[in-house]
Structure 1
Amino acid sequence: MKVLNKDELQTAEGVLLKHLPRSLMVYGLLYGINRNNPSTLEVVVDTWPDFKLILCRPDPEKRALELRNQVTYYSTDEQILWKMLREENAVDWSHYFLLGGCDFSHAPMFKELSSERCVNSKCYTLVHLLYLPDISHLLTPTVDSELESRISSLNLSHVDLVNETWKFGGNEQSYSNITNFISNFPSCCITDGQGKPLSWILVYDYCAMGILYTLPEHRGKGYAKVLISTMAKRLHAEGYPVYCFIEEENVVSYRLFKNLGFIEDPSYRAAWLDFNF
């Protein structure tokens, strides 16, 4: 097992680019790290330079700053993944951690590993991975000049509003995460005449679009379509990957992204798994 340095992270990003879309979450994390966005992650591989597993985990030296204790990986070899997790302790099984965006086909293996260690586990959420491989596939809604004049970016004065309305928000951890997203990644919102956001979309630290929300009294006006389209074009122009995770039960958002031209691999599902909770 090897911890990657700054130059090796640049190389690894290029390798992961060849394994899209399934490598998107780890690719997105490295994309942000390699552009000097704040990170509390350490990135390890099974071997270098020809790795079959790359795993992002909390950096032991920055553990106090990592509120989520989230682990993410991409693997092309399930046996290597098993060996790294079981024999080389690639993750710390003695503490709570959240395994984010993992290949759901690996869930039985994680269940067996956690059972061996007498660690409780559960599937936190199961999601679709939707992505836009070519910006020409994006179906752009018509935006009149009045609405276009009200499209802008979020700023730190909006953190409370986003935190209060986010499904996973309302706490110190989510406040810190949202502050990071708004400070270091693209965001987009539609405001009223006084500059208050009515609808918005953010980008997570793994570069996926998310936290899409419209205040209830302003729904039904097509704001979400405009935001997704605007954000997708901006991300593409700035070199970001253009993708999102949609929870399986969120049929409305799934249809919205699909109708705008996003696609998925129907044989693939990703999941967030909780351990030691």
Structure 2
Amino acid sequence: MKVLNKDELKIAESVLLKHFPKSLKVYGLLYAMNRNKPSTLEVIVDTWPDFKVIICRPDPKNKRALEFRKKVAYYSTDEQVLRRILIEENAIDWSTYFLIGGFDVSHSSMLKEVSAYREVNSRDFTSVHLLYLPDPSHLLSPPIDSELESRISSLNLSHVELVNKTWKFGGNAQGYRNIQNLISNFPSCCITDGQGQPVSWILVYDYCALGMLYTLPEHRGKGYAKVLVSAMAKRLHAEGYPVYCFIEEENTVSYRLFKSLGFSEDPSYKAAWFEFNFCGS
């Protein structure tokens, strides 16, 4: 295994670009790191420069890593090489709770086998669709009148608590720190009310995926979500970001929304999140 340095991270980013959409999550993490976004991760590969496995994992030398949920992401073109690294080498710290997010769902059985070998419990956290917009010309933007356009803005740090308490995976101090980091360092978009307070919003995760799309219940049914996704997709394309999102399989409303705006899906590919070393039965 090899830990990549700054120059090698840029090369790896260009390699991952050729493997969309399956490589999008790891590509997004490297994209952010290569543009000096704050990160608590380090990146390892099986071999260099021709790697078959690339893993983003918490950097043991980064003290801030303890402030966030422990997350791992990887992309692999060879499941056997991945299995060998997970079993025979210290690619992942198996001693504490962590999530592996956005991996190819076809690897589920292998990951369960490896965790059993490591004597670590594992379970499905969520299964998701990966939707992406490779070409901005495919975006089907909704019409926006001037009044609504004047209420489109960006989130700021005074909005962290509002987003945290409405986020499905938030509501705690760890979620607050995560959202604070995202609003401070990544694009966001919101629609405000007459008092300038957000009533609908969307953020970008540290792996550059669209997420946390939410509209306050009393403001739903007005098409705000379509406006926000469209506005963010245009902005991200203009700034060079990848444009994609993960939608949980049971979230048919969001799935239909993104599809209606022109987002694509590779029908042969599904992604998943697993958690390891969790407490409880």
1:19 corresponds to: 19
Distance 1:51 1:61 in 2: 24
1:85 corresponds to: 86
Distance 2:113 2:95 in 1: 16
Distance 1:71 1:10 in 2: 19
1:42 corresponds to: 42
Structure 1: which 4+ aligned runs deviate by more than 4 Å? Answer: none
1:212 matched to 2:213: yes
Tell me the CA shift for residue 94 of structure 1.
Answer: 1.3
1:57 corresponds to: 57
Tell me the CA shift for residue 64 of structure 1.
Answer: 4.9
| Count of aligned residue pairs for this structure pair | 277
Distance 1:58 1:275 in 2: 15
Tell me the CA shift for residue 193 of structure 1.
Answer: 1.3
2:59–2:65 Cα contact (<8 Å) kept: no
One-letter amino acid of the structure 2 residue matched with residue 20 of structure 1: F
Distance 1:19 1:230 in 2: 26
One-letter amino acid of the structure 2 residue matched with residue 83 of structure 1: R
**Equivalent position SS for 1:73:** strand
TM, length-normalised to structure 2: 0.97
Distance 1:68 1:41 in 2: 12
**Equivalent position SS for 2:113:** helix
Note the alpha carbon deviations across 1:173-230, whole angstroms, 9 max, x for none. Answer: 1101100110000000000111100100000000000000000000000000000000
2:277 corresponds to: 276
CA root-mean-square deviation: 0.7
**Equivalent position SS for 1:160:** helix
Distance 2:64 2:199 in 1: 35
Distance 2:121 2:7 in 1: 37
Distance 2:137 2:64 in 1: 43
Aligned-pair identity (%): 76
2:234 corresponds to: 233
**Equivalent position SS for 1:61:** coil
1:143 matched to 2:119: no
Distance 1:78 1:63 in 2: 32
1:245 corresponds to: 246
1:168 corresponds to: 169
One-letter amino acid of the structure 2 residue matched with residue 52 of structure 1: K
One-letter amino acid of the structure 1 residue matched with residue 73 of structure 2: T
2:142–2:230 Cα contact (<8 Å) kept: yes
Tell me the CA shift for residue 63 of structure 1.
Answer: 4.9
Where do 5+ consecutive residues of structure 2 fail to align?
none
Distance 1:237 1:21 in 2: 19
Tell me the CA shift for residue 89 of structure 1.
Answer: 2.0
